[in-house]
Chains A and B, each alone.
Chain A
C-alpha cells in the first residue's frame, strides 16, 4: 500500500517532535501539522504534548508498570515524566541518546547506558535509546491514526528522519538501525539545518523567493539544548532557475542551552554559598530550572534589570528553608553573552582539550564554550566551499578587498534555529560578531532570515521536505557532506617508535547524492576469509576535489578526521577459511541517505557477489 502521509521526525538531543502532512495530488498545499504525543508527565498521568523530551527512565521494580494507552505493562518511561523523574533518581536516567549515537569512542550497540547505573538496572545501548524514543512516537502515531486502518500505520508512511548535519556515515547508519528496530523502514535522512531552512520557506510561503537571491550564501546556525550545528547553503543558478545547494557542514559540537543554564546556576550558586547556604544536588537542579526561567525572561525583555531566583523548601514546608537570590542582567550578559558568544576576531579558534592518557568514558563535550570561536573555525575552514560550484557567482566584495584572498566563507544571510536562538540578545551578538568579521574581510554584512517557530521548525521542515519530494516546493541538493577514505598501511620495514606511514584511499567523493554509486577504485585489497578484517576510516569535510581512487600520502593538519573503523568478515561459503581474497572496495549512497561500503571480489564465485562493510565499529584501545 502506498504512503498517505509524509512524516517528519526531529529526533533531538533534548526534545523530539513529529510533524506530518497528507500526500495529495495536485497543487493544493496541505498544511503541516504537529502530532501531540501522549506521554507520562507524572506517575499515572498522561498528557499529549507536541514536544517529547528525549529522555528515557528505567523504572525501579517498586515503581510498578509505567502504563501507556497502548501498553499497560511498560517498565520504562519516555518523555516528560522520564525527565522529571530523572532528577529524583539520576542513575536510572538515559539522556542525550543522540550524542551517544555519534560518540565513536564507545561501542554503540553495547548496553552501556545509563553510565554508572546500579547493578539492578538493565542497561541499554545508545542505539536502543534512540530506538525507544522513535518507538514511542511510532506507537503514539499508530494509536492516534492506525487503530482502525493498518494502512495508516507509521511504518507505511514516508518518514523523513532528521540528523545533525555533522553526523558522520556511522552515526547515520546507526540512526537508521534504531529506526529500523522501531519498525520504520520507509525512511529518508535529512540534515537538521536543511530541515530548518525548509521550515523557513514553508513559513514564508512564496515570499521566500524574493528574499533569497542568486549568489546568496545562507548560514544556518542551530544552537539547541545540547548541540550546536552549522551549515552553509548556497543559492546557485541551475537551468535558469534559483536552486539551493548545501556546500558545507561543521563539526558535531556538544554545546548548547543546557550548558548556559548550568553556567547561570553556578553564578547564583556562588552567591548563595557566599551567604552560607548549602547547595545539594536537589537544590542545584531546582536552581538550574529557576535560572532557565530567569534567563528566558531577561533575554526576552530588554527592560528587565534582574529576575528573582527562588528555590522553595523541598519538603511540604514551603516556607523556611528556601533560598532566595536574583539573577541580574549584568550577570546574564557576562555569563552568556560574553561567556558563550565573546567578540573575537575571525582568526580565533576554539581551545582544544589536551587528550589525557586515560579518559573516562563519557560524552566528548566541547572544551571551549565560545560558540563564536566554533563559528569562526567553521567559516575559516570552509573558506573555499563555494569556489567550485557551477552556476554560483559570489557577491562582490567592496573596495580593494577584492584583491586579497578571503579569510573566511562569506555568508550573506543567517537563519537561526534552536531554542537558544530565541534569546534576541544572543542572536544579535552572534550576528554583530559575524558582521564584524565580514566587514574586516571586505564583504557586505549578512542579514537575518526571520519567521520560524524555533522549537518545531526541524520537524515541520522535514515534513515540508517530504512534500517537496512529491513535486511541491523547493529541494536543497547537497549530497554527502564529507569525502570518505580508507586507511592503508604501507608495507615498510618496522621502525620502533615510528608508526608505519598510512595512505588514505578515497572511496566516496564529497557531495555524493542519494541513490548514486562511486566509481570503483583501481586498488586491490586482500581480505582473509572467516576473520574480521578492520580498516582505519577517515572523513574530510573540506577536500572537495578527490574522486574515488584518489590516493593521499600526506594531508594538511585537520583536513582528514579519523572516524571509527570499518570492519568486514568474509563468510567462508565457497572458500577456504584463511584464504586471502582480492577485493575492491565500492561506495554507494543509499536512497535513505546512508553510506554503503561493499567489498567486491575480483574473482566472484557467483554472480554479483559482494559483502557489506560494517560502519561504526568500536575504536580499540
Chain B
C-alpha cells in the first residue's frame, strides 16, 4: 500500500533549479502558466490560440495528450501560426519535448467552470461602469481562486514582507530570485524585496475520461 489515496494525478514538483530531462513536468507547468498569463494579457496570442482551437477540429485535440504538441511560444517565432498543433517541429528535437495540451485545456476548463474565466475575458468591458466590473470581478475572483486552490498548492518564494531588506547569500538560486535595479557585482547581495514570488508546490489535475473532448471549455446550453 505505497501511495496514499488522493495521490492519483498528483504531481510533486521539483525545485526549479533541478530540471528532470526524463519527465517534462516543469515544461508542462511552465507552459500551463505561460498560457494562462498570455491568454490573459496578450489578446493576439489568445486570439491565435482560440483560432487554432476552433480551426483544428475537436478530433485532434483530445487525442493529443501523449504526443508532444507545439503551441509553445518559445519554440516558434512570434506571429507565425503553427502548421498543426500535433506536429513535432525540428526545433523540438533539441528543446525538451513540448507539453501535452490536455492538462492546459483542463486548467482552462476549470477556470471557466468555477470562475467564468472565458466569459470574463471575452466580453468587451469598455461600456460597463467600474461598479459593475468590480462586482462581477468578485464572481470571477472567488471562482478562479477556488479552482486554483483546489488544484494547486501555491506558496510565496520568499517569506519576508515585501519592502523588507533581504540579503541573498552566495549560492542563492537565480531561478528563484530575480535581481533588478543596479545589477552588478557578486553575491551576497543586499536589497529590498519587491515581490515575494510564487511557486507551485503541487498540482492536481482531473483525470481525463477517455473520449471526453477537453477543448470544449463550456458546452453551449439550450434550455428546453
Contacts and interface: CB of A to CB of B under 8 A. Distances in A.
Interface in A280-298: 293
Nearest to A40: B209
A145 B1 contact: yes
B53 interface: no
A475 interface: no
Interface stretch (A249-257, A308-316, A507-515, A521-529): A308-316
Contact of A319 (B4, B136, B219): B136
Q: How large is the interface on B (under 10, 10 to 19, 20 to 34, 35 or more residues)?
A: 35 or more
Contacts of B8: 36, 38, 48, 144
Contact of A48 (B9, B116, B136): B9
A308 B134 CA distance: 11
A72 B210 CA distance: 9
A319 B207 contact: no
A291 to B, nearest CB: 13
A44 B6 contact: no
Contact of B5 (A33, A46, A319): A33
A51 to B, nearest CB: 12
Interface string A296-329: 0000000000001010100011111010100000
B97 to A, nearest CB: 25
B139 A46 contact: no
A178 to B, nearest CB: 24
A46 B123 contact: no
Interface string A533-573: 00000000000000000000000000000000000000000
Nearest to B132: A319
A317 B119 contact: yes
A41 B206 CA distance: 9
Nearest to B143: A312
B208 interface: yes
Interface string B130-146: 00110110111010000
Interface string A124-163: 0000000000000000000011000000000000000000
B117 to A, nearest CB: 10
Contact of A320 (B128, B139, B206): B128
A46 B109 contact: no
Contacts of B204: 47
A67 B211 contact: yes
A279 to B, nearest CB: 16
Contact of B212 (A45, A47, A145, A317): A45
B203 to A, nearest CB: 13
Interface string A34-70: 1110101111111110100000000000000001010
Given A44-B209, A44-B212, A322 B136 contact: yes
B113 interface: yes
A305 to B, nearest CB: 16
A324 B135 contact: yes
Contact of B219 (A38, A43, A293): A43
B207 A69 contact: yes
Given A44-B208, A47-B207, A319 B116 contact: no
Interface in B89-126: 106, 109, 113, 116, 118-120, 122-123, 125
Contact of B4 (A33, A308, A310, A322): A33
Contacts of B1: 145
B146 to A, nearest CB: 9
B128 A319 contact: yes
A319 B125 contact: yes
Contacts of A319: 123, 125, 128, 132-133, 136
Interface residues of A, number: 32
A565 B139 CA distance: 51
Contacts of B118: 316
B136 A318 contact: yes
Contacts of A320: 128, 132
A43 B214 CA distance: 10
A44 B213 contact: yes
Nearest to B140: A318
Contacts of A293: 142
Contacts of B206: 41-42, 45-47
B136 A312 contact: yes
Given A38-B207, A44-B212, A318-B123, A308 B138 contact: yes
Nearest to B1: A145
Given A42-B113, A67-B209, A310-B135, A48 B6 contact: yes
B79 to A, nearest CB: 28
Given A67-B211, A144-B5, A322 B109 contact: no
Interface of B: 1, 4-6, 8-9, 106, 109, 113, 116, 118-120, 122-123, 125, 128, 132-133, 135-136, 138-140, 142, 204, 206-214, 218-219, 221
13 contacts: A36-B5, A38-B207, A43-B219, A46-B209, A47-B204, A48-B9, A144-B8, A310-B138, A310-B139, A317-B123, A319-B132, A319-B133, A322-B135
Given A38-B8, A48-B207, 14 more contacts: A35-B5, A43-B219, A44-B211, A44-B212, A45-B206, A45-B208, A67-B210, A67-B211, A144-B8, A310-B135, A310-B138, A312-B139, A316-B118, A317-B123
| Interchain residue pairs A-B with the least CB separation, the first 5 | A44-B212, A36-B6, A318-B119, A44-B209, A46-B207
